[in-house]
Amino acid sequence: VVDMDELDQRHRVVVIGAGFGGLFATKALKRADVDVTLINGTTHHLFQPLLYQVATGILSEGEIAVPIREILGKQRNARVLLGWVDHVDVAARTVTATAPGLSYTVEYDTLIVAAGASQSYFGNDKFAEFAPGMKSIDDALELRGRIFNAFEMAELETDPAAIERWLTFVVVGAGATGVEMAGQIAELAHRTLPGQYRRINPKQARVILLDALDRVLPAFGDHLSTQGLRQLHRIGVEVELETKVVDVDATGIEVDTKSGHRRIESMTKMWAAGVAAPGLSRQIAEAAGAETDRAGRIKVEPDCTVPGHPEIFAVGDMMALDQLPGVAQVAIQSGRYAARQVKRRLAHEGPDKPFHYFDKGSMATISRFSAVASIGKFRFAGLLAWFLWLGVHLLYLVGFKNRLTTVLHWTVSFIGRGRSERVATVQQIFARTALKETGDTGGPAPSGPPKRLS
C-alpha cells in the first residue's frame, strides 16, 4: 500500500484516458484532497455507443463528443492535458505523453490507466484502409463520407455492375455495433434516401452483415439473438453467418463459408469485428511484470490494481478481470471504484472489498422502434426495448445541451425520415493526409527531451 505519510505535498493522481473509466474516476475524486491530472489523446470525452449514428447522419459529432475541459471546468482539483501517453516509467512513477510538436513528463503518486481498446483486425491491419473500424469521431466521419458518397457515385455510374458495387454495403461483425450499423444503413437506403436520386433507386441497396459465428448478438443469449435476426431480416439486412473474412481490398471482400470461397463486390465495407487493448497496455504490463490476456488487456488484482503495483489501477476496457465484458458500465464502475480506493488510502482506511460489477443489463438497437434489451432475468425485444434504449442512452450522454439537441435529431430521424447530418468535408480528407504525413499526433515530431510538467 502506498505510504501517504511520506508525501509532503498533495497526493498526485494521474489519469490516462478521458473515456468512461477515466472521466468517472476523475469526477469521483472531486472532493478528495488530491491533485488530478487527466491526460487524453483528444480534447473530448466520446460517447462511443452512439458513434454509428454520427456515421449514418443522425447525430452531429458534437452531440456525442463533449469537451473534457467543459465537463471538468468547475472541478478545481483537476487539470486536463492534451497528449497521447506513450510511456509509463513504473519505477520513477512518471508518465510521458506526446502532443503535436512536443512531449512532456508528469509525475504521479497514483496512476489510473483507462486508455480503452482499439480496433482489432486479428493480425490483418491492412484491412483497415478498405474497411474502417468505428472507435473515434474520425472513424465515424470517415464512414459517413464513404456511405453517403457511395450513393452519389452510384448515381453517376452507367455500368450496372459498378452501380451494384457502389450500392452494396458490407458490415463485418454481428455484435451490437455491427447490427446497429447495418440496421441504420438499411433505414437510410429504404426510408431516407428514396426520392432524392433520379437515376438510381436507393431501395435497391444491399446491406450485408457478416460474422464468423453462427448467430448475431451472441452476448445477448439465444432468445434475443433469434429476435434480433428476425428484426434484421424484416428491415432487409442480408445476414451471412459462419462466414469468415479472408481478404479485403478496394472493391470487395473475400470470404470463406461452409460452401466454399466467395467474393462480394462492394465499395463500402466497415469493420466491427474485434477489439484489442492499445500498445500502452502491454508496455505497462511488461514494465510492471504483469500478465496480459489474449486481447492485450492487463490482468489485474481483484481491486483493479496491477500486480505488485498497488499505486497503479487499470480500469475499463484495458483491464482483464473475471471475464468482464468491455462495456461502458464496467468502465464507469471500475473507474469510480479506483477513485474510492485512493480516498480510502488517504483516509488510512483498510482495504475495500474487491471490485464487484453490478450488471445493469445490455441493449442494442436494430432500427427505429426496434431493439433488444437484456436486464436481469428479463428479455425485451421490439418497441419496449427501443424506448428503454432511448432512455438509457439519454441518461448517460454527458451534457444538458447535447441531450436536448440529440432528442431533436432523433425526432427528425425516427418520427420523420430525415438525417440532419449528412456533411462530409474536404477538410476531413486533408486532415487524414496530414495525419499520414506526421504520425498519430497530427503535428510535427517532438524535438528535444520531454518537458517536465509539475
Ligand X SMILES: Cc1cc2nc3c(=O)[nH]c(=O)nc-3n(C[C@H](O)[C@H](O)[C@H](O)COP(=O)(O)OP(=O)(O)OC[C@H]3O[C@@H](n4cnc5c(N)ncnc54)[C@H](O)[C@@H]3O)c2cc1C
Please identify every residue annotated as catalytic.
Answer: 180
Residue closer to ligand X by CB (options 156, 384) is 384
Residue closer to ligand X by CB (options 167, 304) is 304
Measured between alpha carbons, how far is 416 from 380 in angstroms, rounded to an integer?
25
CB of 280 vs ligand X, minimal distance in Å: 5
Residue of 168, 177, 243, 441 interacting with ligand X (CB under 6 A)? 177
CB of 438 vs ligand X, minimal distance in Å: 17
What are the grid coordinates assigned to 94, written together?
512518471
DSSP state of 92: T
CB of 164 vs ligand X, minimal distance in Å: 28
CB of 292 vs ligand X, minimal distance in Å: 15
Measured between alpha carbons, how far is 25 from 178 in angstroms, rounded to an integer?
29
* Contact yes or no for 399/60 (Cβ under 8 A): no
Residue closer to ligand X by CB (options 181, 200) is 181
Residue closer to ligand X by CB (options 163, 280) is 280
Paired strand residues for 54: none
Alpha helix (H) residue ranges in 258-324: 279-288
Residue of 11, 20, 269, 441 interacting with ligand X (CB under 6 A)? 20
Packing angle, helices 137-156 and 426-438, rounded to 10: 130
Question: What is the phi/psi pair of residue 180, to 5°?
Answer: -65, -40
Residue of 116, 132, 145, 183 interacting with ligand X (CB under 6 A)? 116
Binding region for ligand X (CB under 6 A) out of 110-118, 145-153, 366-374, 431-439: 110-118
| 175: contact with ligand X by CB under 6 A | no
Residue closer to ligand X by CB (options 248, 327) is 327
| 113: contact with ligand X by CB under 6 A | no
Residue 382, H or E segment: strand 378-382
Residue closer to ligand X by CB (options 329, 438) is 329
What are the grid coordinates assigned to 32, written together?
478528495
Measured between alpha carbons, how far is 132 from 273 in angstroms, rounded to an integer?
11
* Contact yes or no for 420/409 (Cβ under 8 A): yes
Residue 314, H or E segment: strand 309-314
Residue of 19, 57, 132, 228 interacting with ligand X (CB under 6 A)? 19
CB of 406 vs ligand X, minimal distance in Å: 15
Q: Pick out residues in 31-90 that bind ligand X (CB under 6 A).
A: 39-42, 46, 48-49, 51, 84-85
Alpha helix (H) residue ranges in 218-318: 221-234, 279-288
Residues contacting ligand X: total by CB under 6 A = 34
**3-state SS assignment for residue 60:** coil
Residue 294, H or E segment: none
Residues 6+ apart with CB under 8 A from 77: 29, 30, 32, 34, 35, 36
Measured between alpha carbons, how far is 240 from 208 in angstroms, rounded to an integer?
7
What are the grid coordinates assigned to 283, written together?
508496455
CB of 326 vs ligand X, minimal distance in Å: 4
Residue closer to ligand X by CB (options 243, 441) is 441
CB of 259 vs ligand X, minimal distance in Å: 31
Taking alpha carbons only, the member of 368, 303, 309 closest to residue 341 is 303
Measured between alpha carbons, how far is 164 from 131 in angstroms, rounded to an integer?
18
Binding region for ligand X (CB under 6 A) out of 19-27, 199-207, 236-244, 418-426: 19-27
Burial readout 396-420 (b: 16 or more C-beta within 10 A, e: otherwise) = ebbbeebbeebeebbeebbeebbbe
| 134: contact with ligand X by CB under 6 A | yes
Taking alpha carbons only, the member of 180, 171, 121, 120 closest to residue 146 is 171
Binding region for ligand X (CB under 6 A) out of 12-20, 148-156, 160-168, 299-307: 12-20
Q: Pick out residues in 193-252 that bind ligand X (CB under 6 A).
A: none
Binding region for ligand X (CB under 6 A) out of 113-121, 158-166, 229-237, 284-292: 113-121
Residue of 280, 284, 320, 385 interacting with ligand X (CB under 6 A)? 280
Residue nearest to ligand X (CB): 19
Q: Which residue has the cell 461483425?
A: 173
**3-state SS assignment for residue 365:** strand
CB of 57 vs ligand X, minimal distance in Å: 16
Residue closer to ligand X by CB (options 10, 336) is 336
Q: Pick out residues in 310-339 that bind ligand X (CB under 6 A).
A: 316-318, 326-329, 331
By CB under 6 A, name the binding residues for ligand X: 16-22, 39-42, 46, 48-49, 51, 84-85, 114-116, 134-135, 176-177, 278, 280, 316-318, 326-329, 331
